[in-house]
Amino acid sequence: MKNFPKIALSLIAFATFVQANASTITFSTGFSDAGTQASAAAYQSVVDAAVATPGAGYGTTTIANYDNVTNSSLFGSGKNIAFRSTINFGVSAADAGAWSFRAGVDFGNGGAVFLDGVALDYKTNDMWWGDNYNNSSQFLSGSGNLSAGNHTLTIYGLENCCDGGQQAQFKVGSNSFTSFAATDGLVSAVPEPSTYAMLLIGLGLLGFTARRTRSAQFKA
């Protein structure tokens, strides 16, 4: 067992940086019978309030692939849904520059999309993309110049009936659109400060354990 501290340290470092570097998608829903909203900020506010207390038939989970996602398949309910999708992803130095985003949705009462807290687009019409991006009124989209580091894309929407498949995609420069997923190749160029804090705490605990082990050996 003398190699346990080294093994534990390796596992801590691996788990910490995998968590920080992986592109993650959190899909949250709640009950809402709200109608169309007057602004992107209004959609954000109404949806945030609904997902805070989801109720039966709604909930929050991490999904591996943002492609053909529905609330009914995940939590049960197929109507009166407030949607919030939070996608945390990283941009490497090589990919810094122009990025484009699009979200194929089924939002009967409209929705909005934000990048790093800034609204990119919002629509109040009945949006149903139906696996087709030819009609821009039926999906949310936007673009921006991204620096290397961590970024967040957030999609808000309201659906009265009936819950249909959704998709969220990104495009780097002139490349093709790709669906966000756990295997989309996006990594964080700059781990969050909390990541370093977790690693330092792990190192401290291992050091404390090693000192106690050596002390016990000397007393023996």
For 85-140, write each residue's pLDDT tens digit: 999 999 999 999 999 999 999 999 999 999 999 999 999 999 999 999 999 999 99
| 181 contact partners, CB below 8 Å, separation of at least 6 | 23, 25, 64, 65, 66, 67
Side chain identity at residue 143, one-letter code? S
pLDDT at 19: 43
At 13 the pLDDT is 42
The stretch 133-160 carries a mean pLDDT of 97
**Does the bond joining 162 to the residue before it have cis omega, within 30 degrees of 0?**
yes
Q: Which of 3-7, 82-86, 211-215 has the highest mean pLDDT?
A: 82-86
Share of the chain above pLDDT 70, in %: 75
Query: Does pLDDT of 191 surpass 80?
Result: no
pLDDT, residue 186, reads 87
Q: With contact defined as beta carbons under 8 Å apart, do 68 and 100 qualify?
A: no
Average pLDDT estimate for 54-71: 97
Top pLDDT among 185 and 213 is at: 185
